[in-house]
Amino acid sequence: MRELSRRAFPEPDGAADDAPAPIEQARVQRRHQAAATEAAVLRRAFAERAGRTVPPAAPALRQAG
């Protein structure tokens, strides 16, 4: 029965045990983007509090995926 299951649902060749799952890659990317956004917001808030003019932020480049 297990042999039939293996034939019906083969493991993908590219599946490595140490490779991060796609959902984990998405989480890491979202955390990175959130951290970058938070840093930009804090820089702007500190600059505004100090009375300096703040240049507009460059638009973020979105990755297709």
Alpha helices in the chain (DSSP H): 2-8, 22-49
| Structure tokens given for 55 | 């240049």
Report pLDDT for 22: 85
Q: For 34-46, what is the mean pLDDT?
A: 96
Range of the domain at 32: 21-50
Q: For 52-64, what is the mean pLDDT?
A: 61
Residue 34 has pLDDT above 70, yes or no: yes
Rg over alpha carbons for the chain, rounded to the nearest Å, is: 22
Establish if 30 belongs to a structural domain: yes
**pLDDT, tens digit (0-9, with 9 covering 90-100), for 4-27:** 888 888 877 655 566 668 899 999
Establish if 41 belongs to a structural domain: yes
How many structural domains is the chain composed of? 1
Residue 65 has pLDDT above 50, yes or no: no
Establish if 37 belongs to a structural domain: yes
